[in-house]
Structure 1
């Protein structure tokens, strides 16, 4: 049966909802889970850094998998890899494993996420084009973000309280189960449309060919390159800010065992994600150029992070988290539409994966350093550092804006710009 653009969008929303639910079950308690396993702040954030290092190592190879074997196989591999690695996390927690075991499995978890990054987004854009969708790309990304936010909200709140009443390992077990269900749903519903994998060159030849084209249509295009160079500062800071909020909020609350309170971080972020998805189309109307919206969101979000490092009132910090999450979530569909409009279909998954790699690189570098700073000076000091670091993304977004790319204002994906 021929798939319509409506069916494509519904499948995208369902996959986003299910994956967000599975992933977010542990987000509210992940740092506490690692600390409960006997790791220090430095070791806990170093384990998270190994997770992002896994994403750095495997982003491009798994992007090539998506571009040579198909977006659907890549998605299926991601669900299986994450299910197995999540189960291994529970095993390490139960046996009291040493740090390097945590590091190894964290890399494996990073591998699982790289099968999703780029592939799902590329599948959507290609399938929408193939089925004749003529609406605004932001509208689909924004609505998808709403569904993702609903899943994140349910998972983060449920995961926090499940950990409080059934133990810290329970959300991880449930996460693995949901990922198995997502594998089945994707196998039934997901079809590669508007894209035909080309394996005529053989695996290694195809890797070289796609990697070379990805450099040509990605890194050598100034608008794309500058946007990617901003990613380590925004992405690297965001992952630390999110995970460090769990113990920081518990410190402000005064009860280190109130895991439900820790889950509020992910829940608030999820609520902001839903609201941001709803606000994104309006944000685009306020800013004619997508890069203008990005500059505003990054700048204002950085100020919110700086204030988290200064304010000591629990409820005021919750409000700042809402502002930070709302700004980031509202800007994300703008960035997705802008970047997708700059790159061609054949290299889309690989270039999107490389963009994610740049973001993960920031996490690899920044998380251990900020984690060590938290051990020495406390969490508030690291939020001041994080806010200052995220401001460094602004010049790169401004440089991307100066290229005058058609994708900065277009409603549909535009042809890639000429290389520099």
Structure 2
């Protein structure tokens, strides 16, 4: 690996570390924080729903910002927006603000996160191509996931300990501090390499052009479309499982006050991110096609959820949770690499943001449905239903596999002969639907 590619990976890992650490400070105490501010349980979870709705609402617009203004600019806007909205959360906690204020600021927090999604990933891939990196994307994404897992574990534990030693508001102030520090880091180290925003047109016209081309390379691109259509099922069930396993483990353990047991779910997922990120490149080598790994991972995860639904032994459930989290973590870098190998540089951030939107939409719809099933029946029943829902993602992945996209067997970053054929790079001819000179690699 050449020094420039190594530096770019170092910046990417630093950004992942800072972002995840800042976010995870409040993951273990957010609901307690909202209840302590005077909200009811219904209002607290409704505030979380407004946060998810904010992500759905702003995913694509902020992706367009990253593709028209710049990925670095999008990241910097994200740090400022998220820091300001988190500070407002702290202020509202101090004054016991009404619910409408929590709902509004929750949407703004969702906006802050959407400036990151797509932009950082797009920045990395373009910069690596610019630096002449010829390794696999799974390796780079896997390392980022490992670092995120460590940060998630450390931040979640630290946030809970600090809140207990001080008060529930301090972890939110720590998040603001880390985000401001990351603003400084990105301002100094992050540069849009291998990508030049096209500012020759007016803003409105440029946005329309990016949006049109993004649809062309997203929903109108069959192998990408099928992967996106699978996202709501897999992501929606995954988000619900993460939160539902906390009370479910307590139920199986037999002690409703053993909060450290409930925290095992977050700890297991964080640890799995580290192991899964390390294993992703090796898992990729086991299969000729990336979609094979994705299909098998989806089916295996659903089968494990089915077993979790019927087990009555705590330690068996914990073992199954470890397996579920490891599979999920190992297939995620493969999925990221597959998508990135099929998306042109100029539309990458927008298409990736649209993919994130699809996943979040699944979370908005599936979480309440499965939560209601847990209320009416049991957590086990809700997990069984979740397993059935997740299996629905498999046919869409099979649909992507049937397109025989060159990216399905690719092992290097965009810019390789395989990726150039996919993305219409110089020498490969125009990509269907756009002019050849629109893709600036």
TM-score, normalising length: structure 1 = 0.93
Distance 1:382 1:151 in 2: 30
CA distance in 1, matches of 2:38, 2:251: 18
1:123 aligns to what? Answer: 123
1:191 aligned partner: 191
Aligned-pair distance for 1:171? Answer: 2.4
Aligned to 2:212: 212
Pairs within 5 Å for 1:297-308: 297-308=297-308
For residues 382 and 20 of structure 2, the distance between their equivalents in structure 1, rounded to whole angstroms, comes to 27
Greater relative CO (CA pairs within 8 A, separation 6+):
1
Give 3-state SS (helix, strand or coil) of 2:310's partner: coil
Quote how far apart the aligned CAs of 1:96 are. Answer: 4.0
Other-structure match for 1:166: 166
2:132 partner SS: coil
Would you say the 8 A contact 1:276–1:327 is kept in 2?
yes
Q: Secondary structure at the match of 2:346?
A: coil
The reply on whether 1:79 has 2:86 as its aligned counterpart is: no
Change (3 A) 1:89 1:383: farther
1:56-95 equivalent positions in 2, closer than 5 A: 56-95=56-95
Inter-partner Cα distance in structure 1 for 2:198 and 2:294: 35
1:336 paired to 2:332:
no
Name the CA shift for 1:177/1:59 in 2 (closer, same or farther; >3 Å).
same
Corresponding residue pairs, total? 418
State how far apart, in whole Å, the 2-side matches of 1:100 and 1:372 are.
24
Deviates more, 1:261-270 or 1:229-238: 261-270
Aligned to 1:389: 389
User: Hey, what's the Cα distance between the residues in 1 that align with 2:130 and 2:295?
Assistant: 32
Q: CA deviation at 1:318?
A: 2.3
Question: Does 2:293 align with 1:313?
Answer: no
Aligned equivalents of 1:375, 1:42: Cα separation in 2: 14
The equivalent of 1:111 in structure 2 is: 111
Q: Does 1:11 align with 2:15?
A: no
Counterpart CA distance in 2 for 1:75 and 1:3 is: 24
TM-score (norm 2): 0.88
5 Å matches for 1:243-262? 243-253=243-253, 258-262=258-262
Pair 233,39 (structure 1): closer, same or farther in 2 beyond 3 Å? farther
Residue 143 (structure 1) shift:
1.2
- Which piece of structure 1 moves more, 283-292 or 377-386? 377-386
1:355/1:301 Cα in 2 relative to 1: closer, same or farther (>3 Å)?
same
CA deviation map 1:214-236 (0-9, x unaligned): 11111111000010000111111
C-alpha displacement of 1:381 = 2.8
Distance 1:288 1:259 in 2: 44
Consecutive unaligned residues of structure 1, counting only runs of 5 or more, are none
Alpha-carbon offset, residue 258 of structure 1: 4.8
- Partners in 2 of 1:36 and 1:259 — Cα distance? 17
Aligned-residue CA RMSD (Å): 2.2
Distance 1:24 1:350, change over 3 A: same
Is the contact between residue 92 and residue 102 of structure 1 (CA under 8 Å) also seen in structure 2?
Answer: yes
Looking at CA atoms only, which structure, 1 or 2, has the larger radius of gyration? 2
Shift in Å at residue 3 of structure 1? 7.8
> d(CA) in 2 for partners of 1:94 and 1:391?
45
Distance 1:98 1:246, change over 3 A: farther
Deviations 1:177-213 (A, max 9, x none): 2111111111111111000111222221111110001
Helix, strand or coil at the partner of 1:109:
helix
Distance in 2 (alpha carbons) for counterparts of 1:165 and 1:316 = 34
Contact (CA 8 Å) 1:48, 1:106: kept in 2 or not?
yes
After TM superposition, give the deviation of residue 162 of structure 1 in Å: 2.9
Q: What are structure 2's unaligned runs of at least 5 residues? A: 424-430, 434-441
Q: Which range moves more in the overlay, 380-389 or 227-236?
A: 380-389
Cα gap change, 1:92 to 1:259, in 2 (>3 Å): farther
Cα distance, 1:378–1:32 mapped onto 2, change above 3 Å: farther
Measure how far apart 1:321 and its partner are: 2.0
Match of 2:323 in 1: 323
TM-superposed deviation, 1:255 = 5.2
Flag the 1:195–1:378 CA change in 2: closer, same or farther, 3 A: same
User: 1:249, 1:43 → 2: CA distance?
Assistant: 25
